[in-house]
Each structure stands twice: as structure tokens, then as C-alpha cells.
């Protein structure tokens, strides 16, 4: 085999591999999330459920970038667990300065539900949950639900809001926000103050 034939074959293999990776990335939709945030100053506990759909007729492995807001006031999360709810297995992940990276395997024509749990300590009376990375998926969330719970001894303000429901239970207040066809323009920012 001459040099130019070898180069052509190598280029074709690279083109095929890149094309497969691009197609697999395009075949996966992130279409729904349900997030519970419990404020217990100075901790904010988060439990999120995320729904991914593989539209392809073949299995897909996708690297998921899960970001956190980390500032001089909000520390990097502790007690992080990531679980594939389809088979109740823990998913290993790699920590970066402000994210967790994990590999998600999706069966053909299937929906995979992932649960992420973590806690963050805040020195300020504020917490920020990242929503804007949804835009990187290139489509709106079919459904997005957020529940924020806190002691009745504090008052909270949140942005952005939506269809809103407020309930009281066991000395705590729960705020429920729901969106349909949701493409976030900003993160969910929660501020609070003690009621005097």
C-alpha cells in the first residue's frame, strides 16, 4: 500500500468516526427535568431528575457536563451522587473546578432517567442553580418543574418565576414552579432573609 492510499484510508476512518460521534450527539434529547431544592442555611440541598431520550436505532454513549455555580460565597458541592434510575446503578463521575462529568449509556429508542443529588454550602443568603446550559442542547425542555422548600422563619425571592404554587407543611414553605416548552434565559437565583 503506497503512502497516499494509506493517508486516504486514514482520512476516511477519521471522517467516519467524527461523523458517528456527531450523529450520536444529535440523536440524544434532553427533554425534561424536575428539581427539588431545600434551603437549610447555610446548606442548600439539591435533588434533580433529568430525562434523556435516544432517538437512534443504536446505543449511544454521551458525556454529560453537569455544571455548578462555585464562587467565594458558594462552595463546591459535597455528597454528590449520580444514579441511573433505569437500573438503580451509581454512575461514576470526574470533578472539575465547577462541574461533574459523567458518561451516560442510552439504549436504542429509549428514555433514561438520571438522578443527581448534592449539597452546597453558602456564606451568603443566596443560592444559584444553573439553567442556561439547556440552550446548548439546541431545543426547549418539554417540561421543567422546580420545587423550593425552606423554613417558615425565612422569606425567599426567586427569579425567574413561572406558574407558581405555594404550600405550607410541617413548619416549612414549599414553592412549586412549572414551565412548558422552557428555554431558560437565566439561572434560577434564590435569595432569602430572616423574618424579624
Q: pLDDT tens-digit profile of 52-91? A: 999 999 999 999 999 999 999 999 999 999 999 999 999 9
Kindly list the domain boundaries of the chain, sorted by start residue. 3-194
Among 187, 68, 64, smallest CA distance to 121 is for 68
Confidence of residue 196 (pLDDT cuts 50, 70, 90): confident
C-alpha to C-alpha distance for 163 and 66, rounded to whole angstroms: 26
> 122: which DSSP letter?
B
Identify the pLDDT of residue 19.
39
Q: Taking 50 as the threshold, does the pLDDT of residue 18 lie above it?
A: no
Helix (H, G, I), strand (E, B) or coil at 100: strand
The whole-model pTM stands at 0.84
Identify the pLDDT of residue 162.
63
The dihedrals phi and psi of 28, each to the nearest 5 degrees, come to -100, 130
- Render pLDDT for 78-131 as a digit per residue (tens, 0 to 9): 999 999 999 999 999 999 999 999 999 999 999 999 999 999 999 999 999 999
Contact 108, 58 (CB under 8 A): yes
Helix, strand, coil shares, percent, the chain, to 5: 15, 60, 25
Task: Collect all residues with Cβ–Cβ distance below 8 Å to 153 and sequence separation of at least 6.
Answer: 194, 195
As a whole number, mean pLDDT of residues 134-154 equals 93
Q: Considering the chain, what is the average pLDDT of its residues?
A: 86
Class of domain 3-194: mainly beta
For the chain, where are the alpha helices, taking DSSP H only?
3-26
Helix (H, G, I), strand (E, B) or coil at 123: coil
Helix (H, G, I), strand (E, B) or coil at 20: helix
Amino acid at each position: 500500500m503506497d503512502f497516499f492510499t494509506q493517508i486516504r484510508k486514514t482520512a476516511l476512518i477519521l471522517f467516519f468516526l467524527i461523523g458517528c460521534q456527531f450523529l450520536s450527539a444529535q440523536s440524544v434529547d434532553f427533554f425534561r427535568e424536575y428539581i427539588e431544592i431545600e434551603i437549610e442555611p447555610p446548606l442548600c440541598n439539591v435533588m434533580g431528575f433529568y430525562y434523556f431520550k435516544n432517538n437512534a436505532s443504536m446505543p449511544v454513549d454521551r458525556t454529560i457536563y453537569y455544571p455548578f455555580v462555585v464562587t467565594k460565597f458558594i462552595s463546591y458541592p459535597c455528597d454528590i451522587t449520580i444514579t441511573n434510575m433505569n437500573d438503580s446503578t451509581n454512575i461514576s463521575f470526574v470533578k472539575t473546578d465547577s462541574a461533574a462529568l459523567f458518561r451516560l449509556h442510552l439504549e436504542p429508542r429509549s428514555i433514561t432517567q438520571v438522578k443527581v443529588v448534592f449539597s452546597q454550602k453558602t456564606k451568603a443568603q443566596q443560592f444559584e442553580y444553573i439553567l442556561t446550559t439547556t440552550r446548548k442542547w439546541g431545543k426547549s425542555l418539554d417540561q421543567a418543574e422546580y420545587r423550593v422548600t425552606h423554613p417558615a422563619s425565612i422569606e425567599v425571592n426567586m427569579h425567574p418565576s413561572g406558574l407558581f404554587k405555594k404550600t405550607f407543611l410541617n413548619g416549612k414553605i414549599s414553592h412549586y414552579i412549572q414551565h412548558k416548552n422552557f428555554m431558560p434565559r437565566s439561572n434560577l437565583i434564590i435569595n432569602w432573609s430572616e423574618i424579624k
